[in-house]
């Protein structure tokens, strides 16, 4: 009978169970998440979380204790080098179990067990980026942030520059128009002078012709 037995034997002998959980812990540390059954994930969580706590103190003794459970030098090095700095501020609860349904065949309940600090979707930084700001507890409506003020000033400066450019362009256009008007007036004056000169020559020719006719008649 199993009275008072709190250890889930997982249908295996003790040596087989220890080797299996040790290999699962190495895979979890190496890949940061693994798929398994809920029963194995719960047994793995009890096994691996004390080792993660032990890795916070990087000493020769701690490394030897962790190596006695994992039996893999590369995994121990990765645990103390990469994982320990990220979990140093966390007081327990290093893993997360997410149920994913039931396995086809034996209908075993499956799950995903992962290290909490290595999930980018559920991290605090990702939540801060995706959440919307609310007006509760924030700044008052009359206050404006410094970024907004800077942006408004930049927009005003751009508008002033644009208006200055527009005024310069308008001045240039007016000056060009004045020059064109002056040239047109000069052309008109020259043409009027030519016409007056032409009329004078015609009148003199008419006078000479009339004088010649009178002389012939006489």
Q: Concatenate the DSSP letters of all residues of 88-119 into one string.
A: TT--S--EEEEEEEE-TTT-PEEEEEEEGGG-
Could you list the pLDDT tens digit for every one of the 218 residues in the chain?
889 998 899 999 999 999 999 999 999 999 999 999 999 999 999 999 999 999 999 999 999 999 999 999 999 999 999 999 999 999 999 999 999 999 999 999 999 999 999 988 876 665 565 556 656 655 554 454 566 656 656 666 666 666 666 666 667 676 766 777 777 777 777 666 666 666 656 666 566 666 666 655 54
**CATH 3.10.510.20 at 14-130, yes or no:** no
Q: Is 88 in contact with 56 (CB distance < 8 Å)?
A: yes
**What are the domain boundaries of the chain?**
14-130, 144-218
């Amino acid at each position: 009978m199993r009275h008072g037995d709190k250890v889930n034997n997982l249908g295996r002998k003790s040596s087989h169970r220890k080797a299996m959980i040790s290999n699962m812990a190495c895979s979890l540390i190496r890949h940061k998440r693994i798929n398994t059954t809920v029963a194995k994930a719960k047994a793995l969580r009890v096994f691996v979380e004390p080792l993660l706590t032990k890795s916070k103190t990087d000493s020769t003794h701690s490394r030897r204790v962790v190596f006695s459970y994992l039996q893999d030098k590369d995994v121990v090095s990765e645990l103390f080098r990469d994982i320990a700095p990220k979990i140093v501020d966390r007081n327990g609860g290093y893993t997360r179990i997410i149920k994913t349904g039931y396995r086809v065949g034996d209908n075993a309940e499956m799950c995903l067990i992962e290290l909490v600090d290595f999930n980018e979707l559920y991290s605090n930084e990702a939540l801060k980026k995706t959440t919307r700001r609310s007006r509760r507890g924030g700044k008052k409506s009359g206050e404006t942030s410094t970024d907004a003020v800077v942006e408004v000033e930049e927009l005003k400066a751009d508008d002033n520059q644009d208006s200055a450019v527009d005024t310069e362009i308008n001045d240039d256009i007016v000056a060009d128009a004045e020059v064109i008007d002056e040239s047109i007036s000069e052309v008109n004056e020259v043409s009027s002078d030519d016409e007056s000169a032409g009329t004078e020559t015609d009148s003199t020719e008419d006078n000479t012709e009339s004088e010649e006719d009178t002389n012939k008649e006489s």
